[in-house]
Amino acid sequence: MNFLKSILTAKSAQKGSKETSLDTNILWEETGISDWKTGYIQTLINLERFDQEVLPFLQKNQSLSISEMFQQLPITNKKWCKNPDNQTINELILQGNIALVKRSSKDMIFVPIRKEQSLRQISVPEVEFSVIGPKEGFIEDIDTNLLLIQKRLPTSSLQIDFLEIGTRTKSKVAILYLKDVADEENVNTMKQRLSEIEYDHILDSSYLVQMIEDNKMSIFPQFIDTERPDRVVAALVEGKVAFLTNGSPHGTYGPVSLVEFFAAFDDYFLSWHIASLFRIMRIFAVIFSIFATPLYVAVITYHPELIPDDLMSTLTTSRTDIPFPPVLEALFLELTIELLREAGARLPTKVGQTIGIVGGIVIGTASVDAGLTSNVLLILVALSALASFTTPVYRMSNSIRIVRFPMIILSGIWGLLSVALGLMTILTHLLALTSLGRPYLAPIYPPRIKDWKDSFIRLPFFTQKERPKQLRVKEKEKINWWKKRDIDEFD
């Protein structure tokens, strides 16, 4: 090992004091061959493969030069580094490579024999489960996730660019797009934002999403992350840009618009009539979830004249013994629902379901019997919470939950006037919001009538001949035309 120490010492003297020292976890040992030594980290490499494939070859061909060894060593993806510095040695060995060093040379050969990790098997998506359609979901291994995409998109136009993000974790990130479809400006924007990230650790794609969003202070998500490879493939075909992160079971793509968050991918597996009905139902459910409780508080507090006479007696009876004003009553119930939801999400599955069901029944009944809340408001809050679950994208569901609280507080200040001001504030914010520089409210604003065929409703596939205009894709048409022909119509 003395010759190796002398090589590294000489390199350090040549490079100066800024040279990174070698990792102390690297094990440099004799191979039993006079001219060759190896360096590796034992926990990262497959020792069995090393003993069976590398060492026997070294013993049989110990007289080879380092260039001949590099050419004849029967291992793929090996690297030959000429006079590498200490930092390069550290990085390559930490990636699961074995360094081969010959006494007469300062060059090194790095052989990739990384230990195979025990990966989670491909399973059914848990958050975006569908009754109809594929049942495969992403896992934490980026190579497996790329395979799931490439087998669904076997085309040479699929471009995959790799980045390494995270000064310490060095997380592998893959950017995907169709080079003959996707707009170059969208691709370059995504690449630039990801490549400029400087952060110690990137453990999930959610880190990157928060760092590359157009408006980092907005509560509305500006990218869609999904655990379904088929949804990512559909986005790529539309002309969007996606990225995968090693260690994350999600794929992320953009640019996106607000209406896309209310479109479940199951809609494309159903007839267009049913899919359109479900989309409209989700949109109305979200509107109800945000405004039902604030409108109740505003009407009860400031505008009782809007209540029909037949309903007035019911509301009066339900609030006879309630000691709190409607705004505090509503906030109490909303916070209770959120606590039950959070507790159910953090506990084990079976226990969480029990807490959610039993807790909701017990606390709701007890609060009404104790005279703390009215039964009418309890029904409204429960329906609002149920309506928020209809959003297919989890991150948008969280945003809707947050928006309800300021709307309730505003409704207790000036009534319907405050609700109107809150609505205008939300709309103004959404109008100014962008995703990868594209309008967030498209195709509503700016209005693009042709893109409405797959927004609020989903019309038949043969009507969707063109890709969305906001993406500014290179290849605008998805199909030239489609016409159903009977067998007797053919020549």
* pLDDT tens digits, 42-99: 877 888 888 888 888 887 877 788 788 888 888 888 888 888 888 888 888 888 888 8
* Confidence class for position 275, pLDDT limits 50, 70, 90: very high
433 within 8 A of 440, measured Cβ to Cβ: yes
Asked if pLDDT for residue 359 goes beyond 80, the answer is no
Could you tell me which residues are beta bridge partners of residue 253?
224, 242
Reported as a pLDDT band with limits 50, 70 and 90, residue 33 is low
Give the lowest-confidence range in 141-150, 174-183, 247-256, 354-363.
354-363
- Percent of residues, the chain, with pLDDT higher than 90: 41
Would you place residue 324 in the very low, low, confident or very high pLDDT band (cuts 50, 70, 90)? Answer: confident
Res 347 pLDDT > 80: no
- pLDDT over 60 (residue 304): yes
- At 6, is the pLDDT very low, low, confident or very high (cuts 50, 70, 90)? very low
Look at residue 130 in the predicted model and tell me its pLDDT. Answer: 81
**Residues 473, 183 contacting (CB under 8 angstroms):** yes
pLDDT band at 8; cut points 50, 70, 90: very low
Average the pLDDT over 381-399 and give the result: 89
- pLDDT at residue 479, rounded to an integer: 67
Return the pLDDT at 122: 87
Q: List the one residue out of 368, 369, 386 whose CA is nearest residue 377.
A: 368
What pLDDT is recorded for position 150?
A: 93
Res 16 pLDDT > 50: no
Look at residue 399 in the predicted model and tell me its pLDDT. Answer: 92
Do the Cβ atoms of 204 and 249 come closer than 8 Å? no
Note the pLDDT of residue 13. 39
- Three-state SS string over the chain comes to CHHHHHHHHHHHHHHCCCCCCCCCCCEEEECCCCCEEEEECCCCECHHHHHHHHHHHHHHCCCCCHHHHHHHCCCCCCEEECCCCHHHHHHHHHCCEEEEEECCCCCEEEEECECCCCCCCCCCCCCCCCCCCCCCCCCCCHHHHHHHHHCCCCCCCEEEEEEEECCCCCEEEEEEEECCCCCHHHHHHHHHHHHCCCCCCCCCHHHHHHHHCCCCCCCCCCCEEECCHHHHHHHHHHCCEEEEECCCCCEEEECCCHHHHHCCHHHHHCCHHHHHHHHHHHHHHHHHHHHHHHHHHHHHHHCHHHCCHHHHHHHHHHCCCCCCCHHHHHHHHHHHHHHHHHHHHHCCHHHHHHHHHHHHHHHHHHHHHCCCCCHHHHHHHHHHHHHHCCCCCHHHHHHHHHHHHHHHHHHHHHCHHHHHHHHHHHHHHHHHCEECCEECCCCCCCCCHHHHHECCCECCHHHCCECCHHHCCCCCECCCCCCCCCHHHCC
Residue 292 pLDDT greater than 50, yes or no: yes
Whether residue 490 is predicted with pLDDT greater than 60 in this model: the reply is no
Choose the weakest-confidence range: 106-110, 194-198, 274-278, 406-410. Answer: 106-110
Q: Give yes or no for residue 278 having a pLDDT over 60.
A: yes
Nearest CA-CA partner of 231 in 145, 307, 142, 296? 145
The answer to whether residue 1 scores a pLDDT higher than 60 is no
Q: How confident is the model at residue 23 (pLDDT cuts 50, 70, 90)?
A: low
Quick: pLDDT tens for 137-146.
Answer: 999 989 899 9
Instruction: Give the confidence band of 18 by pLDDT, cuts at 50, 70, 90.
Output: very low
pLDDT value of position 5: 44
If we measure between CA atoms, which residue out of 29, 22, 170, 161 comes closest to residue 101? Answer: 29
Least confident of 221-225, 338-342, 472-476: 338-342
pLDDT bracket for residue 480 (50, 70, 90): low
Average confidence score pLDDT of the chain:
85
Predicted pLDDT of residue 209: 95
Q: What is the band of 426 on the pLDDT scale with cuts at 50, 70, 90?
A: very high
Whole-structure pTM over 0.85, yes or no? no
Q: What is the mean pLDDT of residues 323-347?
A: 86
Instruction: pLDDT band for 417, please (50, 70, 90 cuts).
Output: very high
Res. 283: pLDDT tops 90: yes
pLDDT on residue 94: 82
The tens digit of pLDDT for each residue in 445-475 reads: 888 888 888 888 899 888 888 888 888 898 8
Q: How confident is the model at residue 2 (pLDDT cuts 50, 70, 90)?
A: very low
104 vs 108: which has the higher pLDDT: 108
